[in-house]
Amino acid sequence: MTADGEPAELTERIAQAVAGVPGVAFLRPGLAGLLRSSVAARATGRRVNPEESRAKSAVRVGQGSAPGTLAIEVSVVLRRGHRAVDVTREIRAAVRRTVPAEAENRPPARVTITITGLV
């Protein structure tokens, strides 16, 4: 979670930026992310749109290992015909543009990208 209390908004902005990267078919968490979102939905008792829940659980924002840093995890499905290394570089750049470190006086976020499938 971010220190300023806006993780949901930040997560949504990151998800939108990643979805716009060429080669990204859609955001989709792995099995652990799906289970996490299911448990969270049951705990709150709220019904959620499965597609929206999947996209939100595909982006996780948390505290980094160093004080004041962010750790961002993104899970995506890629389109065939795109080199994974190129797409992941573009995803990382899109996330860093969405979360500029200089604007908030903190070190750059650590961005981890997991490819959960190809279509």
Least confident of 12-16, 48-52, 58-62, 113-117: 48-52
Per-residue pLDDT reduced to its tens digit, 60-95 = 998 888 887 889 999 999 999 999 999 999 999 999
pLDDT at residue 55 greater than cutoff 60: no
With residues binned 3-state (H G I as helix, E B as strand, rest as coil), the percentages for the chain, rounded to 5, are: 45, 25, 35
Per-residue pLDDT reduced to its tens digit, 17-49 = 999 999 999 998 755 444 544 555 556 666 555
What pTM value is reported for the model? 0.73
HEC string for 39-51: HHHHHHCCCCCHH
Question: What is the reported pLDDT for 118?
Answer: 94
